[in-house]
């Protein structure tokens, strides 16, 4: 046996295995480089994004419109408040309630406290007359501006109570409040 031939094979076999492995690795790696086309998914997501943006814009317009309506309602109440035709009877109010009542004190209406009165005045409803002309939905909008804490109040009777106060029907107001569990219907 010739050791020189064997020495060549010791070098030749690993070299051939290395070359073949390199070629196979190159071919396998090259075949895995397929281009993935995501353009259909991208288009779908872009369309969905555009729809969501349009929905958001529509919602913002509705919120803006609602704020404008509340502001215009409040200004119309303020304009109406300037024209008061029924004189305030402080003595009659004191006799009915047993305490001094200030004109256009919205706290006379059961369910309205100092904070809610401030919210109504900030929205332009500053008098009994203006509150008596407000709808229950408008009162609820004012309460909604104060957050969840104020949305639990039920203003269903507030315009009616305010009308009694505006018209000076003090004994009727006190009687109604007593009969209806302090303003609750």
Q: What is the pLDDT of residue 81?
A: 47
Tokens read off for 112: 């309205």
- Is the pLDDT at 79 greater than 70, yes or no? no
Q: How high is the pLDDT of residue 84?
A: 46
Report the 3 state secondary structure along 132-166. Answer: HHCCHHHHHHHHHCCCHHHHCCCCCCHHHHHHHHH
- Residue boundaries of the structural domains of the chain: 61-179
Lowest-pLDDT range of 56-70, 118-132, 152-166: 56-70
> How many residues are recorded in the chain?
185
pTM of the model: 0.53
| C-alpha separations of 18 from 9, 14, 23, 105 in Å | 14, 6, 9, 98
Going by C-beta distance under 8 Å and a sequence separation of 6 or more, which residues neighbour residue 33?
none
pLDDT digits (tens, 9 = 90+) for 3-48: 566 777 788 888 999 999 999 988 888 776 667 788 888 899 999 9
Average predicted confidence (pLDDT) for the chain: 84
Residue 170 exposed, middle or buried by CB count within 10 Å (0-12, 13-18, 19+): buried
CB-neighbour burial class of residue 80 (10 A; exposed 0-12, middle 13-18, buried 19+): middle
Q: Is residue 163 scored above 90 in pLDDT?
A: yes
């Amino acid at each position: 046996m010739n050791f020189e031939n064997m020495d060549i094979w010791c070098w030749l076999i690993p070299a051939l295995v290395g070359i073949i492995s390199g070629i196979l690795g190159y071919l396998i790696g090259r075949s895995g480089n397929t281009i993935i086309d995501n353009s259909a998914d991208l288009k779908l997501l872009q369309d969905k994004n555009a729809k969501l943006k349009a929905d958001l814009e529509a919602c913002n317009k509705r919120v803006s419109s609602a704020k404008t309506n509340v502001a215009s309602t409040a200004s119309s109440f303020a304009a109406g408040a300037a024209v008061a035709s029924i004189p305030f009877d402080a003595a009659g109010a004191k006799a009915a309630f047993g305490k001094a009542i200030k004109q256009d004190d919205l706290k006379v209406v059961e369910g309205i406290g100092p904070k809610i009165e401030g919210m109504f005045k900030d929205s332009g409803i500053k008098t009994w007359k203006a509150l008596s002309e407000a709808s229950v939905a408008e009162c609820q909008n004012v309460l909604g501006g104060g957050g969840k804490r104020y949305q639990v109040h039920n203003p269903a009777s507030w315009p009616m109570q305010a009308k009694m106060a505006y018209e000076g029907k003090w004994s009727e107001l006190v009687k109604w409040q007593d009969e209806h569990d302090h303003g609750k219907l």
